[in-house]
Amino acid sequence: MYVNRKAPYGTIYAWEALEVVLIGAAFEQDVSLAFMDDGVYQLAKGQDTAGIGMKNFSPTYSALGDYEITKIYVEKESLEERGLTLDDLQHLVWEDEDEDWAEKDSIRLVSRSELADVLATQDVLFNF
């Protein structure tokens, strides 16, 4: 489980986390992600980085389904505390080959206590 707590820009944490996630998935690891605190901004729609002179890497999240990353947990309270809803996030999907390639949502909106339960079941946590 890769835990993302930092805003997408201003530090290298979010970009580094995304790179490590993609590498793990490329090596057929069972990858899941959690977004909490300011990390929920990483999945926000319509990011524009022109004013800060950094590359906008947010479109890369749409490729997660291609890497069979289908478990993306977003903490509901973190969204609410920042005035965001699920509709403010990118629509991330994966294709289920067992159901004739039907698109399914990757994002699982969970409460803080539900996310704590998920984190407790993980063998390894990478915090960014």
Mean pLDDT over residues 15-31, rounded?
Answer: 95
What's the confidence (pLDDT) of residue 86? 97
Number of compact structural domains in the chain: 1
Average pLDDT over residues 28-49: 96
Q: Where are the beta strands (DSSP E) in 2-125?
A: 2-4, 32-35, 71-75, 93-96, 102-105, 107-110
Mean pLDDT of the chain: 95
Give the distance between the most distant pair of CA atoms in the chain.
44
Judge whether 4 and 125 are in contact, CB under 8 Å. Answer: no
Dihedral class, residue 83 (left if φ above 0, else alpha if ψ from -120 to 50, else beta): left
* Confidence bin at 54 (pLDDT 50/70/90): confident
Q: How confident is the model at residue 38 (pLDDT cuts 50, 70, 90)?
A: very high
- What number is the average pLDDT over the span 48-57? 88
Average pLDDT over residues 4-21: 95
The two tokens of residue 105 are 């949502």
**Which of 70, 91, 75 is closest to 25 using CA atoms?**
70
- Distance of alpha carbon 34 from alpha carbon 38, whole angstroms: 12
**Looking at residue 115, what is its pLDDT?**
98
Q: Are 65 and 94 spatial neighbours (Cβ–Cβ below 8 Å)? A: yes
Domain interval for residue 104: 2-127
Instruction: Please give the single-letter amino acid code of residue 109.
Output: L
Summarised one tens digit per residue, pLDDT across range 88-122 is 999 999 999 999 999 999 999 999 999 999 999 99
Percent residues over pLDDT 70 in the chain:
100
Q: Residue 121 sits in a domain of what CATH number?
A: 3.40.1260.10
